A = this chain, B = another copy of it.
Amino acid sequence: MDRKLKQLQTMLAEVSDLYAAAALLGWDQQTYMPTGGAEGRGNQLGTVETLAHLKFTAPEVGKILEDLQPYADQLDPDSNEARLIKVTRRHYDKQTKVPSELIAEMARVTAVAHQVWAEARAENNFAKFQPHLEKVVELRRRYAELFAPYDHIYDPLLDDYEPGLKTAEVKTIFEKLRPQQVALVKAIAAKPQVEANFLYQTFDEQKQWDFGVQVISSFGFDWKHGRQDRSAHPFTQSIGMQDVRITTRSNPNFLNTGLFGTMHEAGHALYELGIDPLLARSPLGSGASLAVHESQSRMWENLVGRSLPFWEHFYPHLQRVFPSQLGNISLERFYKGINRVQPSLIRVEADEATYNLHIMLRLEIEIALIENTLPVKDLPEAWNTRMKEYLGVVPENDSQGVLQDVHWSGGMIGYFSTYALGNLVSAQIWEQINQDVPDLPDQIRRGEFSPLLGWLREKIHRHGAKFEPQELIQRVIGSKIDPAAYVRYLGTKYSEIYKL
C-alpha cells in the first residue's frame, strides 16, 4: 500500500507541477508578456492545462484510488494521507464526470464571450453580450446537470468554488444578513457624511508602493518566497507553495486603491505561504476554498487595515511619506475617511457596509438564470430593480450595472457569493482570535502582527485544503458560517464613526 500511495503522490506531484507551470504562464500573461505573445500563450496554457487534466483524470488514478480505499479506511481520518486520498477522490469523481467535449466547448464559448463582453461594456451594449451570455448559462446548466441528483441545480456550481456548501445554506445566510445590512446602510445614510476629500489628492505612486511594502513586510510577507508586481487587475498567484506572488495597482489620485489592495492581496499570499510544506505538490497544497481565502484577504485589508489601532501605529509613518497631503489631517479624520460609507454602483469600489449587497443581488440573479426563471434578456431590469431596493442607487447604463464584472463572460457562475461569505467568515474568525489573543488591539497598535499571523497559521493556513471549508470553520470557531459576527462588527464600527 505504501508503494501505491507513493505512486499516487508521484502522479499528483506531476499534475501539480503542470498546474504550477500554467500558473506562471498566467501570471506572466498579466504582468510581463509582450502583447504579441497572446496567441502563443493561449496555446501554451491550453496544452499544459489539458495535459494536467488528462493526467489527473486518467483511469489509472481511479484504479489506484480504489485500491487505496481499504488502506485509507484504517488511517487516522485527519492524517495527511487519509485526507489526500479523500480530497483526491472527490476531485477525481467530479472531474471525470465532465466530458472533454463540454470542457472544450466552454473554452471556445468563453474565449469569444470574454472578448464580446469587453466590447459590450465599452460600448454600453448589453444586447451584444446577451446571446453569448445565454450560451454560457446554457453550458453551465448542462455542466450542473451532470451531477444530478442534487438538492438544487445551482449546488454543483457553488461546489466548484466552495466545496460542500449548498445553495440552501447560502440562501439562509444571505436572507438573515440582507435586512440587517440594508437597515445599517439606511441608518448611516440618515447621518451626516464623513469627509474623505483628502484621499483624492496626488499621491506619488512609488511612495505608495514603498509604503505598501513596509506594511505587508510587517504583516510577515516573506520576500524570499514571494514578490509583488504591477498589473491592471490585482491578483495573487501561487506558483508552487514556495513562490507566491501578488500583483497590485495604484491610483495616483486616490490613496485607497493601492493601499488596501496591497493588504488584501498580501492576505491571500500569507495564507498560501503558511500551508504545511508537507502538503506541497498535492491537491491539499492550496487554500480550503475561495470563501476561506477571501476571509484572509479581507481580514488583513479590513479588520486589520481599516482599524483604528492599525492606523494609530501606521498613520504617523504615512503622514511622513505624504506630509503636504496628510500633514494637517488628524488620525480621527483619516480613519473616518477611509471608512466612509457611500452606496455606489461598482462592486470593486464598494465599502464594507455595502459590499455584500452587491454580492447578494448577483447570487439571486445567478440562481434565477440557472433555474431558468429569469431570461438573460431581462437581466438588466432585474439588476437595476435590486440595486434600487438594496442600495438605493440605479446605474445610468449597463456598463455601470450588469456589465461591470468579468466573471460571467468567463463561465464563472457560482463564484460571487464566496466574496460575501469571506467577509462573514473574517468577522467570525476575528471574534475567536480576540478571545484567544486578548491584547490583539494593543499588539496591532504597536505594529506587531506575528501573534496574529501565528494564530492564523496554526488554526487555518497550515491545513491547506485538508478540510472542506465548513468543516475547517467548525474546527476553528466551533460553528458554521453565520452572519451574526459580521453584523456585530459593522454595527460597532459604524455606530462609532457615524454616531448611530
Contacts of A224 in B (CB 8 A): 34-36
- Asked whether any CB of chain B lies closer than 8 Å to the CB of A116, the reply is no
- Given contacts A14-B47, A226-B34, A240 and B20 within 8 Å (CB-CB): no
A417 to chain B, nearest CB (A): 32
Please tell me which stretch of A37-45, A60-68, A120-128, A306-314 contacts chain B, meaning at least 4 of its Cβ atoms lie within 8 angstroms of it.
A37-45
Residues B25 and A28 in contact, CB atoms below 8 Å apart: no
> Any chain B CB within 8 A of the CB of A257?
no
Closest to A14 in B: B47
The residue on B at minimum CB distance from A51 is B51
Residues of chain B contacted by A229 (CB below 8 angstroms): 32
Query: Is there contact, CB below 8 Å, between A281 and B43?
Result: yes
- A36, A37, A48, A51 — which one has the most chain B CB atoms within 10 A of its CB? A37
Asked if A225 contacts B37 (CB within 8 A), the reply is yes
- In the complex, the answer to whether B17 meets A242 with C-beta atoms within 8 Å is no
Q: Within the assembled complex, what's the spacing in Å between the Cα atoms of A112 and B132?
A: 54
A40 touches B241 (CB 8 A): yes
Interface centre among A22, A44, A240 (most CB of B within 10 A): A44
A window 463-482: CB within 8 A of B: none
Q: What number of A residues sit within 8 Å (CB to CB) of B?
A: 40
Query: Any chain B CB within 8 A of the CB of A113?
Result: no
Evaluate contact between B37 and A239: CB separation under 8 angstroms: yes
A420 within 8 A of B: no
From the candidates B21, B47, B223, B245, name the one contacting A44 in the complex (CB within 8 A). B21
Asked if A160 is at the interface (CB within 8 A of a chain B CB), the reply is no
A37 with B240: CB separation less than 8 A: yes
- In the bound complex, residues from chain B placing their C-beta under 8 Å from that of A13 are 43, 47
Interface centre among A32, A227, A229 (most CB of B within 10 A): A32
Q: Is there contact, CB below 8 Å, between A243 and B24?
A: no
Chain A 10-34 interface 0/1 with B at a Cβ cutoff of 8 Å (1 = within): 0001100110111011001000111
| Candidate in A17, A28, A51 with the most chain B CB atoms within 10 angstroms | A17
The answer for the CA separation of A243 and B229 in the assembled complex, in Å, is 20
Query: CA of A242 to CA of B36 in the docked complex: distance in angstroms?
Result: 6
A284 to chain B, nearest CB (A): 15
The answer to whether A44 and B17 touch across the interface, beta carbons within 8 angstroms, is yes
Contacts of A37 on B, CB cut-off 8 Å? Answer: 225, 239-240, 242-243
Chain B CB within 8 A of A412 CB: no
Tell me whether A431 is interfacial, beta carbon within 8 Å: no
B32 touches A227 (CB 8 A): yes
Contact residues, A221-238 vs B (CB, 8 A): 222-227, 229
The answer to whether residues A240 and B41 also contact, given A34-B226, A48-B18, A225-B34 and a CB cut-off of 8 A, is: yes
| A394 CA to B224 CA, complexed, in Å | 41
Q: Given the complex, which residues of B lie within 8 Å of A46, measured CB to CB?
A: 17
Q: How far apart are the CA atoms of A44 and B21 in the complex, in Å?
A: 7
Q: Render A209-227 as a binary contact track against B, CB cut-off 8 A, 1 for contact.
A: 0000000000000111111
Q: Would B17 and A243 count as touching, CB distance under 8 A?
A: no
Taking the closest CB of chain B, its distance from the CB of A58, in whole angstroms, is 13
A39 contacts B242, C-beta separation under 8 Å: yes
Which B residues touch A47, using CB under 8 A? 13-14, 17-18, 21
Asked if A304 lies at the interface with its beta carbon under 8 angstroms from chain B, I say no
Q: List 6 A-B contacts (CB under 8 A).
A: A17-B47, A32-B229, A34-B223, A34-B225, A37-B239, A44-B239
Q: Besides A36-B224, A37-B239, 10 other CB < 8 A contacts? A: A17-B47, A21-B44, A21-B48, A24-B25, A32-B227, A34-B226, A40-B240, A40-B241, A48-B48, A51-B51
